[in-house]
Amino acid sequence: MKTSKAKRYTVDNNVGGANNLCCAVIDSELDIHIVHLGTMGVYGYGTSGGEIPEGYIDVILPGGREANILHPAHPGSVYHATKCLDAILWQFYQKNDQLRITDLHQGIVWGTNTPQCALDDRLVNRFDYDGDYGTVLNRFLMQGAMGVPLTVYGTGGQTRAFIHISDTARCIDIAINNPPNKGDRVEIFNQVAETRRVRDIAEMVAKMTGVEANFIPNPRQEAAENELDVSNRKFCNLGLNPITLDEGLFDEVTEVVKKYKSRCNPRKILPASFWNKARAAECASLDPDSIKIDASKEEKKVEVAGVAHLNTTATTA
């Protein structure tokens, strides 16, 4: 987070919004199904020692009692903390007011357009490439297309869950059409396609684009290396055939980057938000003015691609 003000805004906005939504649904007296697009970050990004189940985990309580409880929260950012607080609100309002709620724990989204959005330029999605809102794979693809060294945080040993934007839309559609019954506990799906290690993704993009990977100090407070095994059986059982990382699909992202490259501000590429004072101190040597776009990339075809307009809005979450 940038500042304490940003942290307060994030908590007030996200948690207050979730609570207000539940209150509005109750006051409406209508049978409404809430579908919340959340994050895998509620589980945390340490090595769990096994597969992360979908929302609920089997445990043995003192005295040998077996139970199936909400998976323990382990957020790694203020934003993720608000999603954990949202999850508690969903549980309360389902129990107290029998609201029908589905919570989607989504992985890192990559890609730019769904087939529908690709039909007309006026439907294109925003494309974030900055250190706050830009997701890691889209950032790498943008940097590779622009001839900028890939900004790999720390060792790049972070393992993360990924999903293509088209699958995001498919999953939401599946969730809407498979609501829980009134009185059922909150339905939770892990909305992911696969897991990959960040440095492996950087190596893939570097090989395609000829741009080197630049390992920089990590602005985030997180494990340098972690394993991640995630269950996504619920969506697959309901018909999802996940799109996995494929170099051919990367072309979609780079073409948009090339189309809107004039909107790129190189000073937005390096991280500008730091998880705490220690992270900020370690990243003090990072100079936004040191990032230069390689002009030779402008006419050279790059084996990757992109989607909509480049967006640099930054109030970190």
Report d(CA 175, CA 219) in Å as an integer: 34
- Average pLDDT on 179-183 reads 97
pLDDT at residue 306 tops 70: no
Name the catalytic one among 2, 7, 79, 312.
79
Residue 83 is a catalytic residue: yes
List the single range of 62-71, 202-211, 291-300 with lowest mean pLDDT: 291-300
Q: Pairing relation of β-strands 159-164 and 194-197? A: antiparallel
Tokens of 304: 């990757």
Residue 244 is a catalytic residue: no
Report d(CA 278, CA 280) in Å as an integer: 5
Query: Quick check: 136 and 108 in contact, CB under 8 A?
Result: yes
Name the catalytic one among 10, 39, 135, 316.
39
Work out the pLDDT band at 310, boundaries 50, 70, 90.
Answer: very low
Name the catalytic one among 10, 43, 45, 83.
83
Question: What are the pLDDT digits (tens) for 227-239?
Answer: 999 999 999 999 9
Question: What are the pLDDT digits (tens) for 52-109?
Answer: 999 999 999 999 999 999 999 999 999 999 999 999 999 999 999 999 999 999 999 9
Query: Quick check: 232 and 175 in contact, CB under 8 A?
Result: no
pLDDT at residue 309 tops 80: no
Structural domains in the chain? 4-311 (3.90.25.10)
Question: What are the pLDDT digits (tens) for 16-49?
Answer: 999 999 999 999 999 999 999 999 999 998 777 7
Q: Where are the alpha helices (DSSP H) in the chain?
A: 4-28, 78-97, 136-146, 165-176, 198-209, 233-237, 247-259, 277-282
Q: What is the pLDDT of residue 301?
A: 41
Give the count of alpha carbons within 13 A of 284, CB side only. Answer: 5
Report d(CA 125, CA 180) in Å as an integer: 30
Sign of CA pseudo-dihedral 156, 162, 165, 168: negative
For 37, the enclosing helix (H) or strand (E) is strand 33-37
Question: What are the pLDDT digits (tens) for 244-288?
Answer: 998 777 888 888 888 888 889 999 999 999 999 999 999 999 999
Q: What is the pLDDT of residue 315?
A: 35
pLDDT at residue 299 tops 80: no
DSSP 160-173: EEEEEHHHHHHHHH
Question: What are the pLDDT digits (tens) for 97-147?
Answer: 999 999 999 999 999 889 999 899 889 888 899 988 999 999 999 999 999
- Average pLDDT on 159-179 reads 96
Query: Quick check: 158 and 200 in contact, CB under 8 A?
Result: no
Q: What is the pLDDT of residue 298?
A: 52
Report d(CA 61, CA 58) in Å as an integer: 10
Work out the pLDDT band at 317, boundaries 50, 70, 90.
Answer: very low
Q: What is the pLDDT of residue 240?
A: 96
pLDDT at residue 294 tops 90: no
Work out the pLDDT band at 296, boundaries 50, 70, 90.
Answer: low
pLDDT at residue 150 tops 70: yes
Residue 260 is a catalytic residue: no
Q: What single DSSP character describes residue 81? A: H
